[in-house]
Amino acid sequence: MSRIKQFDLPDLGEGLTEGEILKWLVQVGDVIELNQPIVEVETAKAAVEIPAKWGGQVQAIFHPEGATVEVGTAIIAIDTEPAAGPAAEPTGPVPAPSRPESPQPEIPPPGGAIEPGMIGGPAPGGRTAVLVGYGPRTTAAKRRPRRTTGELAQPAEPMPVSTGPLTAQPAQTEPAQTEPAPAGPGPAGPVAKALAKPPVRKLARDLGVDLAGLHGSGPLGSVTRDDVLRANEQAGSTQAGSAQNGSAQNGSAALPPGPDREQRIPVKGVRRLTAENMVASAFTAPHVTEFLTVDLTRSVKALDRIRSQPDWQGIKVSPLLMVARAMLLAARRHPLVNSTWAGDEIVVKEYVNLGIAAATERGLIVPNIKDAGRLTTRELAEAMADLVRTAKAGRTAPADMAGGTMTVTNVGVFGVDSGTPILPPGESAILAIGTIRKAPWVHKEKIRIRQVATLALSFDHRIIDGELGSAFLRDVGAFLTDPEAALLAWT
């Protein structure tokens, strides 16, 4: 049995077939333990850390940060018996069965050492070498055909070379052939690629910075992230000065429209999945949205009393907790609201997996609290806080975002009064709460200043008719208006 084992990107669950390598947590030569996290991978749903299947010494890393890899493709090689002496170097990753591998020409090594994960750099004979660990940087289906003429060996992903500034590049599913730089002043000869890691190249493309014109401050003259940011700041200062000069001469600081004033953001990961789900839901389930403005003064006071209890110290207590508890109690009274349309039948759930919409840097995600109806109010508060904290850290597991039955979202944190939420696929009801604000309100036949907010309930009209939707929303509002009385009456 071979001591060198290639570790494949594992099945990440929930129908996910590929992942983007965000960050390697180990390097070639590191000694690792069984189940030690080795790589951070972003899927269409979350960023997850993948543990090592074996302990040993890292022999090769087959894909750089930023590469998208299919499930079942080798990503790393591990020597499981490093104490036995040097082992034969791995030749490269084994491709996924659905992506046949074609022979790859060997890439000549550079004249000097290149850090693992770097792309490009001078090599003997005026060539450009690509080095990522010991193996090729991507599978055959995504590898660019190599040039058969000329003095440059092309890298495995498009790296435009230009005599002028680069503009932000859109995402490409299939890399286009890189054209040689146009002829300009100076002696003819091969154009050397700038030495930089993939994340640095991506940053340069996004900011429109030409790597070829930079003098790197990293190892072997490689361009670093700071070099790119510094160049971008200098370019911004130059552009601002030109705009001021144009304003003085023409009486206007307007800049001509063009691609250099546009930003292109690749749609992938969480954002792509959210878009697909929202389109599918909006054009599948007939949405109806009802609104109810309620007096939350007693709920706000109840929250203040809870926060003052010694047992609740250190636990986040927010109005969303009261709304969640109100939904769970109302679902007991109206179980059909907690159901799914399944074509020729309606599946009524006897459990509530309560989704909590969370805005993160990577987009909107909706993880859910499993069987939330069985939790005490304190357990519910702890679960909500942990769920949101994990989501904002980008560590939500795909399983935590599957199986939701109804959802609550707090749009009030953005300073708005209400909205028309779209149902997560497979759910029949979603409730939004807007900003809680002081407003004049008729209370006990007198106009008083009260804490008021608007609730918006969207529901699937195939399952929930207007009467049922209104009854559910009315009960949620009644609980928030007088939580003590509702608890006594409903439980």
Q: Which residues are catalytic?
A: 461
Amino acid symbol at 47: A
Instruction: Supply φ then ψ for residue 369, to 5 degrees.
Output: -90, 115
Q: What distance separates the 2 farthest-apart alpha carbons in the chain?
A: 91
| Alpha carbon of residue 402 to chain centroid | 16
The DSSP bridge partners found for residue 5 are: 78
Rounded CA-CA distance 140/161 in Å is 24
